[in-house]
Amino acid sequence: MAGDLNLSNLKPAQAQKARKRVGRGLGSGKGRYAGRGIKGQKSRAGSHYMRAGFEGGQMPSYMRMGKQRGATSKDAMPIGPFRTSTWSVNVRDLEQRFKAGAEVTPEALVAVGLIRNLKLDVKILGYGDLKAKLVVSAHSFSKSAVEKIEAAGGSVTWLKPPHEQKVRRHKKKAASVPPQEREAVETDEAPEEAAADADAAEEPAADAGEPAAEAAEEPAGEA
């Protein structure tokens, strides 16, 4: 029967495209250079698997852009050698997972599935509403989280001392004088300077007259 399935009429349900066979002679159309051209980076093996951010050897964009200041400062963003990571938990999640009067600790957060493990510090954030009275212990808290927990009648316990940002001291700038006051001071000083210049001009003239008088007296004494 024509409709019987056998090896002569067996074919896949979906047509398959034949694989491109390169380097099989000039008659194939993909021989000699196998469609890669002559020399160059893209003719080499592995040239089509370049890492992310690679721009062909030129200076990449992430190195051309300006960097943030304070990369090695503990008060800077979590970059560089002082990079820190924490588990972030919002007070909204505490409201959903814990009953009023419960004690919230990192171990309890792992038990209810809010954090994965205890390898990182836990930080409580203030997103959402909290009405249950909870005793929360964590490594750090945001300002809004502390306010909401205490407003609900609960308390917070810092497992690490709060970080105090160091005060940066800058040199004080000289007090700027308004233009009107500056002009008034200059006008007051101008007459005094003119009088001092006049006195200075008179002194050399008096000194110059004294030697002439002495010279006139000396011959008279000799005679």
Percent of the residues in the chain that have a pLDDT greater than 70, as a whole number? 70
The pLDDT of residue 173 is above 50:
yes
DSSP letter, residue 204: H
The pLDDT of residue 39 is above 90:
yes
What local confidence, expressed as pLDDT, does residue 15 receive?
Answer: 83
Q: How far apart are CA 142 and CA 128, in angstroms?
A: 13
> CA-based angle 83:84:90, to the nearest 5?
145
Which uninterrupted H or E stretch holds 157?
Answer: strand 155-158
**pTM of structure:** 0.46
- Single out the residue of 158, 101, 102, 90 nearest to residue 130, CA to CA: 90
HSE on the CB side for 199, CA within 13 Å?
6
**CA distances from residue 143 to 33, 88, 95, 101 in whole angstroms, order as listed:** 66, 14, 18, 22
Lowest mean pLDDT among 117-126, 156-165, 177-186, 206-215: 206-215
Residue entry with tokens 């400062």: 73
Q: If you average pLDDT over residues 121-150, what whole number do you get?
A: 94
Do residues 93 and 114 lie in contact, with contact meaning Cβ atoms separated by under 8 Å? yes
Q: If you average pLDDT over residues 158-186, what whole number do you get?
A: 73
